[in-house]
Amino acid sequence: MKRIKLIIAYDGTNYCGWQIQNNAITIQEKIEEACRKLFSQEIKLIGASRTDTGVHAMGQVAVFDVDTTIPCDKIAYALNARLPEDIVIQKSEEVPLEFHPRYDAIKKTYNYLILNQEFILPQHRHYATFISKKLDLGEMKKATKLFIGKKDFNAFCSAHSSVKSTVRTVYDLEVKKEDSFIKIVITGNGFLYNMVRIIAGTLIDIGLHRITIEDLNRIIESKDRANASATAPAKGLTLEKIYYGEEKI
């Protein structure tokens, strides 16, 4: 028996997120189907991150166990031939049987893309949130500092969530302008449910001068979801990369 690690990119537009569920098409289901066709047996995937409906990925990670003679690095090609065009395995490799994509992850990077100009660019309609009013990049950049470090992010966690601890460490948070886009790149040891999208929504409100840096300080301190901004739309979010022990933090 071998444990195979997949690195997966997907366009989340047409899926109800990563995790398998009844009566909805998910990315996990599509990959399990492709595995079933390839290996002629039921395969159960363990994913690293449960991305929501409409969220994209460049570097989702999942593992499964199988007995196979197919060279491990060729499994990516074989699965891609059996997957729809909006899901593409980027890499397949054998990992130790005890490797776990969620528990062994040491940090994750997400990016959140905002198109900030008068009109939507149709090529980007599924991959960026559109804001026509000019965002104050300077204020957004200033605000990033308040999120960095080990903090209780309860104010930035969706109310539906029930986790033991809402303390997480944000290692890095950057706001960059690229042509008409503003890109938020965040790296942390883990993220609460909807945390990246609520942080993005809060940074957008800072950029629109709806809230000030002082307000943001109070929102973080309050640890109350009711005080933070609305969750920014799913389509702007991409799971960029998941880091494991073999890579430097």
Binding site for a copy of itself (CB under 8 A): 9-11, 56, 58, 76, 80, 85-91, 118-123, 125, 127, 238
Smallest separation, CB 36 to a copy of itself (Å): 21
Q: What are the phi and psi torsion angles at 72 (to 5°)?
A: -60, -35
Residues 192 and 166 sit within 8 Å (Cβ to Cβ): yes
Q: Which is nearer to a copy of itself, 65 or 73 (CB)?
A: 73
Query: Residue 14 or 68: which CB sits closer to a copy of itself?
Result: 14
Is 52 part of the annotated catalytic residue set? yes
Cα–Cα distance for residue pair 68/75, rounded to 1 Å: 10
Pick the closer one to a copy of itself by CB: 86 or 94. Answer: 86
Q: Is 193 known to sit in a ligand binding site?
A: no
Q: What are phi and psi of 28, to 5 degrees?
A: -55, -45
Q: Alpha helix (H) ranges present in the chain?
A: 27-39, 75-80, 137-144, 195-207, 213-222
CB of 223 to a copy of itself, least distance (A): 35
49 vs 229, which CB is nearer to a copy of itself?
49
Q: How far is CA 110 from CA 88, 136, 240, in A?
A: 18, 22, 5
Contact 222, 166 (CB under 8 A): no
> Tell me, what DSSP letter sits at residue 175?
E
Compute CA 161 distance to the chain's CA centroid, rounded to the nearest angstrom. Answer: 17
Cβ 70 to a copy of itself shortest distance, Å:
17
Report, in Å, the least distance between residue 56 CB and a copy of itself. 6
Min dist. Cβ of residue 107 to a copy of itself (A): 20
- Out of 11, 52, 104, 205, the active site residue is 52
17 vs 2, 10, 29, 92, 143, CA distance in Å? Answer: 27, 10, 10, 21, 30
Question: Among residues 229 and 238, whose Cβ is nearest to a copy of itself?
Answer: 238
Q: Are 225 and 159 in contact (CB under 8 A)?
A: yes
Binding residue ranges: 110
Binding residue ranges for substrate: 110
Q: Which residue numbers are catalytic?
A: 52
